């Protein structure tokens, strides 16, 4: 998370938000009911940290986003179930990590990139304000979902690797203190809420040896979840017991797994392995909607897939890719002058480089068509 990256943010039905080198892109990625995950564009901004708005579960959807270039915070909002999105400026402060404040509208936790403390960012009247929480420097955050006021709690993994604190307020966030200082001394590099469960959070070990669940039962206990190294996590908000699910972006960049328990966290397994092979650097829950998440990813220096008509990057050219092409279609010579505003998966399909998507490009797509789950020939677009 700390390095400057071009990202692409994606909601997942299942939905995600993601980015690439050379071209910033914010997307919705959704599960279409087949094995395919389809990306839809949100905007072309570049974000390094995300926190969903906990009180909106549709048709209004909101995600708070910290820009990768350090230029500040923005609120990305849709009022129509993700069909269209806008971006609103919040603050010029540079934050490296954000976390949802459960049950409270227009508020979230934010860890300052300069290491000077954890803050609460909130909307009051007609302006955004910040309130110092504690002076500690945290590299990862996870709110306790069972506390929605007046008690509020957030877990923070210390940036120096010495362990995890729980930070608490008993008066709607006016005053804060360390409820548990170093509840565990394990060094974690990523934390995430366990949906609907108090005193519990997912935690990825900084040494790369596994994902764990930390919970309180007459003392803080650590439970092994799966062996694997995940650089980002997002809980599934539609499952709050006995089924729990969490999405994990693999640290080696090979994709995202979904990890599941069917018995209140007694045992865990990888429900879907590499459900997408996109290299997501940041994941974020999509409040109130099952099988969905926001996320950001870094692609290689060539922003286009191979072949370019594999718009959803699932190694085939099928009906899903044709559907994306239809949404991108401009017609000959781009009469509405919209080509320059299209997301990268659209502009990559301009096979003849004439700044439009027309019949020439459609014919080229049909020559690459392989069908669902049938690998497309990489050279079909040459």
Contact 309, 357 (CB under 8 A): no
In DSSP terms, which residues pair with 165 in a beta bridge?
156
pLDDT greater than 70 at residue 103 = yes
Instruction: Report whether pLDDT(2) > 50.
Output: no
State the average pLDDT for the chain: 87
Cβ(334)–Cβ(282) below 8 Å: no
Q: What is the rounded CA–CA span in Å between residue 331 and residue 282? A: 36
The gap between the terminal CA atoms of the chain, to the nearest Å, is 36
pLDDT of residue 369: 95
pLDDT higher than threshold 60 for residue 24:
no
Question: Rounded to whole angstroms, what are the CA distances from 259 to 240, 335, 365?
Answer: 14, 47, 36
Least reliable range by pLDDT among 110-114, 307-311, 352-356 = 352-356
- % of residues, the chain, pLDDT over 70: 87
Task: State residue 27's pLDDT score.
Answer: 67
Q: What is the mean pLDDT of residues 25-51?
A: 72
Cα torsion 106, 112, 118, 124 to 10°: value is: -30
Of 334, 340, 321, the C-alpha closest to 380 is: 321
Q: Is the pLDDT confidence value at 233 over 90?
A: yes
Instruction: Note the maximum CA span of the chain.
Output: 69
11, pLDDT greater than 60: no
Phi-psi region of 122 (alpha: psi -120 to 50; beta: other; left: phi over 0): beta
- For 118, residues 6+ apart whose C-beta sits below 8 A from its C-beta are 109, 110, 111, 112, 132, 133, 134, 135, 136, 138, 141, 154, 156, 167
Are the CB atoms for 231 and 190 separated by under 8 Å?
yes
pLDDT score, position 5 = 37
Better pLDDT: 149 or 112: 112
Chain center to CA of 99: 12
Under the phi-then-psi rule, with left for phi > 0, alpha for psi from -120 to 50, and beta for the rest, what region is 54? Answer: alpha
Which of 13-17, 60-64, 125-129, 363-367 is the least confident region?
A: 13-17
Give the pLDDT confidence score for residue 40 in this predicted structure. 67
Q: What is the pLDDT of residues 131-187, one digit of tens each?
A: 999 999 999 999 998 888 899 999 999 999 999 999 999 999 999 999 999 999 999
pLDDT tens for 301-352 read: 456 888 999 998 888 999 999 999 999 999 999 999 998 888 888 989 999 8
Closest of 275, 236, 309 to residue 35, by C-alpha: 275
When pLDDT is cut at 50, 70 and 90, the band that residue 25 belongs to is low
Closest CA to 231 of 352, 139, 149: 139
Q: What is the per-residue pLDDT for 8?
A: 42
For residue 4, pLDDT beyond 50: no
pLDDT at res. 308: 92
pLDDT at 116: 97
| 253-304 pLDDT tens trace | 888 899 999 999 999 999 988 888 778 888 988 887 777 888 776 555 456 8
Are 206 and 188 spatial neighbours (Cβ–Cβ below 8 Å)?
A: yes
Q: Which residues, in sequence order, are CB contacts of 114 under 8 Å at separation 6+?
A: 94
The confidence score (pLDDT) of residue 133 equals 98
What pLDDT is recorded for position 227?
97
The values of phi and psi at residue 199, to 5°, are: 55, 45
52 contacts 285 by C-beta, under 8 angstroms: yes
Higher pLDDT, 382 or 21: 382
Q: Convert the pLDDT of each residue in 56-75 to its tens digit.
A: 778 999 999 998 888 999 99
Is the predicted pLDDT of residue 14 greater than 60, yes or no? no
More confident residue, 46 or 88: 88
Q: Return the closest-CA partner of residue 163 out of 212, 206, 120.
A: 206
Which domains are seen in the chain, by residue range? 8-297 (2.120.10.10), 319-381 (no CATH)
């Amino acid at each position: 998370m700390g390095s400057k990256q071009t990202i692409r943010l994606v909601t997942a039905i299942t939905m995600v938000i993601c980015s690439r080198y050379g071209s910033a892109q914010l997307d919705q990625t959704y599960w279409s009911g087949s094995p395919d995950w389809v990306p839809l564009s949100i905007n072309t901004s570049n974000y390094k940290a995300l926190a969903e708005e906990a009180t909106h579960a549709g048709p209004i959807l909101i995600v708070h986003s910290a820009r990768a270039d350090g230029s500040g915070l923005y609120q990305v909002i849709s009022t129509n179930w993700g069909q269209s999105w806008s971006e609103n400026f919040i603050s010029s402060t540079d934050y490296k990590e954000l976390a949802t404040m459960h049950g409270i509208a227009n508020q979230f936790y934010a860890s300052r990139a300069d290491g000077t403390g954890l803050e609460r960012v909130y909307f009051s009247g007609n302006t955004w304000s910040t309130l110092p929480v504690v002076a500690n420097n945290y590299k990862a955050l996870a709110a306790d979902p069972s506390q929605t006021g007046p008690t509020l709690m957030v877990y923070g993994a210390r940036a120096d690797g010495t362990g995890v604190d729980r930070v608490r307020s008993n008066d709607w966030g006016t005053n804060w203190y360390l409820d548990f200082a170093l509840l565990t001394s394990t060094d974690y590099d990523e934390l995430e809420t366990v949906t609907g469960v108090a005193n519990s959070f997912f935690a990825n070990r900084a040494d790369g040896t596994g994902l764990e669940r930390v919970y309180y039962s007459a003392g803080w206990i650590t439970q092994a979840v799966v062996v694997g190294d995940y650089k980002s996590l997002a809980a599934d908000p539609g499952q709050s017991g006995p089924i729990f699910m969490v999405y994990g972006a693999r640290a080696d960049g090979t994709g995202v797994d979904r990890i599941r328990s069917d018995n209140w966290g007694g045992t865990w397994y990888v429900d879907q392995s590499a459900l997408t092979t996109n290299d997501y650097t940041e994941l974020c829950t999509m409040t109130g909607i099952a099988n969905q998440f926001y996320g950001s990813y870094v692609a290689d220096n060539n922003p286009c897939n191979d072949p370019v008509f594999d718009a959803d990057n699932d190694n085939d050219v099928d009906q899903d890719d044709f559907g994306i092409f239809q949404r991108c279609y401009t017609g000959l010579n781009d009469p509405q002058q919209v080509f320059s505003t299209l997301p990268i998966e659209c502009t990559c399909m301009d096979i003849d480089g004439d700044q439009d998507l027309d019949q020439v490009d459609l014919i080229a797509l049909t020559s690459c068509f392989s069908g669902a789950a049938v690998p497309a020939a990489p050279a079909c677009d040459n």
